[in-house]
Amino acid sequence: MGDKAYILVLNGPNLNLLGKRQPEIYGSRTLDDILADLRSHFAARIRIADFQSNSEDRLITWIQDYGFDEHCLGIVLNAGAYTHTSLAIADAIAAVPAPVVEVHLSNIFARESVRHTSYIAPVCAGSISGFGEDSYFLAVEALLRKKHR
């Protein structure tokens, strides 16, 4: 793994509200708290870049822009509610060579039935759901294992 290698963590709509958004479901820590812990946990092994947007358009553009970068080992994606609606994000994931790991803080299969369908799961390398912020750690760990790339 070269010095330029990195993993991109993308967060979609409403994940900027972590910490104050339904803490009984999503926990009390902010996205910045989680990302800081993620970076320090993996500091010796991989660089972590991240973006968050409430816009489907921006998420697709980041997948397109970074998904072809040879230094991008993979993308960890919490697409928020777009998970359950966006064929366009699924198409972007399918279009790029970088493996994408779908993550959710909550267990989407233990919630309302509308959340049981993921448009992106079939085109992702794998999905991790229900482990709170640990879902992100497990996704990065999976991408660091060469066989999942």
Interacting residue ranges for ligand DQA, rule: CB under 6 A:
14, 78, 80-81, 83, 104-106, 108, 115
- Of the residues 26, 66, 119, 136, which is catalytic? 26
- Of the residues 6, 66, 82, 104, which is catalytic? 104
Q: Which is nearer to ligand DQA, 5 or 107 (CB)?
A: 107
**Known catalytic residue: 104?**
yes
Q: Which is nearer to ligand DQA, 52 or 78 (CB)?
A: 78
Q: Are the beta carbons of 76 and 50 closer than 8 angstroms?
A: no
Closest approach of Cβ 141 to ligand DQA, in Å?
18
Q: Which is nearer to ligand DQA, 95 or 110 (CB)?
A: 110
Closest approach of Cβ 96 to ligand DQA, in Å?
20
Closest approach of Cβ 34 to ligand DQA, in Å?
11
- Angle in degrees, 0-180, between the axes of helices 31-42 and 134-144, rounded to the nearest 10: 30
At 145, give phi and psi (nearest 5°). -85, 115
Instruction: Using the structure block, give the residue that is written with the tokens 């339904």.
Output: 22
Q: What is the spatial distance between Cα 89 and Cα 82, in angstroms, rounded to a whole number?
A: 8
Q: How far is CA 138 from CA 20, 53, 75, 82, 86, in A?
A: 24, 22, 13, 21, 24
Both tokens of 28, joined, read 């009390």
**Known catalytic residue: 26?**
yes
- Which sign, positive or negative, has the C-alpha torsion 119, 129, 22, 52? negative
Closest approach of Cβ 138 to ligand DQA, in Å?
13
Q: Which is nearer to ligand DQA, 43 or 114 (CB)?
A: 114
Task: Give me the active site residues, please.
Answer: 26, 104
